[in-house]
Every structure is written in C-alpha cells, then in structure tokens.
Amino acid sequence: MTRPAWPDGYVAVAALVASGGLVLCCLGLFVDPRSTLAGWLTVALFLLGLPLGAMTILMVHGLTGGRWGEALRAPLRALVATLPLALLLLLPVVTRVDLVFPWAGTDPTMLPETVRQKLAYLNVPFFIIRSIVCALIWLVLGWLILGWTAPDKNRARATTSRPYAIGLIVHGLAVTVFAIDWMLSIEPDFYSTIYAMLEASAEVVGACALALAVLAAGRAIETMPGGEDNTALGEDVANMLFGFMLIWAYLSFMQWLIIWAGDLPEEIHWYILRSQHAWQYLLWLLIALQFVVPFAGFLNRSAKRSHRGLLGLGALVLAGHFADVVWRIRPALSAPISWTDLTAIMGAGGAWCAWFFWTLSEPNRISFWRGRQVRG
C-alpha cells in the first residue's frame, strides 16, 4: 500500500515561508546582527546535520545490509541531496566570524591563557581552510554515496563493503574537525574528547527520525513484512532509530558524568550556562522528547505497528534532536531566544524544506549529483 506522494505544493509553501524569513533576517542583521547570526548558525548546524547523518546511515547499511536500510534509502538519499544547500547556509556566518567566535573577534591579550595557547589552530584563515576541506570531502562523499545507492541498475555501485568502510573513516574525521571548529570553539575554554562522537550520533538520530516520519507518511510500512517472521517493516525501522537514540543518550550521559565527577571548572561551566536563564527548561524538554517519551513508545510493539505511532515517534525524536542542537549551541552565542531565532527558522529552514520536498517529490531530481537520470 502506497500513500499519496509528496505534492509540489509543499515546495511552494516552504519557499514562501523562506522568502518572508530571509527578508526578516536581513532586517535583523541591521537591528541586532549578533543575535541574528546566533539564531542562523544554530538552525544551519541543525540542517547540515541531517544530510550528514543520512550519509552515515547509508554507509552503515552498506556495511551491514538489512531491509530497514532498503526502506529508508529513498528519504535518506533525498536528505543527502540537500547537502549543497546546507553547506551554503554557513556562508553568512563565515562573513562575520568575529560576531560568533570569541577567538576571532577579541584582542588575543584579553583572552584566557588556555585560549591563547590554541590560537595557532583557532585563527580565521586556518578555520576557513579547514571548513572548505570538510565541505569538499562531504560533497565528494555525497556524490559517491548517491551513486552507490542509486536504484538505477546502470549506475556505479560499491561492489564490496570496503568503500563504505573507508567512507565512514573519512566522514568521521571530517565530522570531528567540523564539530571542534563550528561547535566547541564557540566556547574555546570547553574541552571534550567525546563531543565529536556525540555530534555524529545526534546527526544520525535526527536523520533517521526524519526519514522514518517521511517513510511512514508515504508508505504503509506498519503492514509490510520486516526482516523476520511476524515482524513488520515499521518495527525494524523503529528499532534501528531506538538503537541510534540509545547511543546518543549513552554518549550524552557519559560526557556529563565524566565532567561532573572530574570536577573540571571550565567544563562544568558549560553545563552551568545551560542550566540557567530558562535554558534548563529546554534541557528537560529535549530529555522528554528525545528519550523519555520515545523510550516508552519504542518498547510498545503496538505503537511500532501503528501508522500514527510511527509518525509520532519520528516527529518526537526529530523535535528532541532540534531541541538538543539549540541547547548545545545557542546559550553561548548571545542573549536568550529572540525574534531573530524565529526568522532564522523561517528563512534557513524554509529554504531547506523547499529543496528537500522538491527532491523528495521526484527522485530523478537528484540527477545533478551524477549527471544523468535516476529512475526509481
């Protein structure tokens, strides 16, 4: 059973929202440029994490196989196709890095000694070079992955698991560098060896949650056979999301436990900042949305065999992932949430959604990656 395809009307609505949001963002750059860029960067990092997480899942499936990955392939490929736009959304921040990163907009003599020792790495030219290298790696890797996973039998495919393994290693290194540069360096005093893995796991959770919601909305996966007898395809996909969610929860808890038990002042301050000025309420919200409520749902087999249950689980985890990104990134950038954050969601989010829906409604629109039609 196939539900109605995503209509192009969604593209028009998203484009209209994006137009209004971008106009308001331009206004915000004149009124309060720091807050505007703070909201824009937070949304841009969330949106970039979705295609990056989709790439990770596609490569993991290339190594392991399974019906769950075959079911998720179409929405995951559509997510990967949004990568060029997601990378372009970072350009406004690059033009004014001094408003976002303290090491770029402050006299070095005014910085703490621990930060001054990092300035050989944290400087604008080197920062831009590393960002360009990461972007090129992801664009090439995305181009290859879309070729390996294309439904067209005439397309180039990875005949062994080795390309996926190499791709995961390269992708992991790029995510590590990117997480250090664009996330950790917002607060250069903070140090965490597990943060890059935490970010990578969060990207996978967000991409899988969105792919599950899209898949459940377009196909009756709750009635389709899964990988084992008496198991629905919806259960297999939901169980994979459950596993990814547990990895994220474990890494998040371990980072907090190690820092808190180690009594490290600079690292503890990272959590203190996010537990005051109303940010603690966002923390409780993300725990509820991305762990507590979905945890109960994933343990309920009837929910995983229900169309509404699958849509609800995907939507809840995706909303929790967005709250997680906001909670990790936004508190260190400027004053509490303002109207400029909403304009960033409208502008960047609307543009990204328009691209995603445009690709999702007709898979052969991914052809710009490979130079020919992709028929599914």
Residue with tokens 């062994």: 160
Whether residue 25 contacts residue 178, with contact meaning beta carbons closer than 8 Å, is answered with: no
Whether residue 279 contacts residue 240, with contact meaning beta carbons closer than 8 Å, is answered with: no
What pLDDT score was predicted for residue 369? 53
pLDDT tens digits, one per residue of 3-40: 445 556 788 899 999 999 999 999 999 998 999 999 99
Whole-angstrom CA distances from 371 to 21, 28, 98, 254 are 32, 39, 39, 45
Residue 151 is classified by DSSP as S
Q: How far apart are CA 78 and CA 81, in angstroms?
A: 5
Q: Which sign does the torsion angle of CA 290, 295, 296, 298 carry?
A: positive
What pLDDT score was predicted for residue 240? 92
What pLDDT score was predicted for residue 110? 80
Q: How far apart are CA 233 and CA 227, in angstroms?
A: 7
Structure tokens at 340: 């400029």
List the one residue out of 247, 240, 309 whose CA is nearest residue 58: 240
What pLDDT score was predicted for residue 374? 41
pTM, 2 dp: 0.92
Q: Phi and psi of 263, rounded to 5°?
A: 55, 55
Collect the ranges in the chain with pLDDT lower than 70. Answer: 1-8, 152-159, 220, 222-230, 335, 363, 365, 367-376
List the one residue out of 48, 36, 67 whose CA is nearest residue 233: 67
- Please list, residue by residue across 101-124, b when 16 or more beta carbons sit within 10 angstroms of its beta carbon and e when fewer do: bbbeeeeeeebeeebeebeeebee
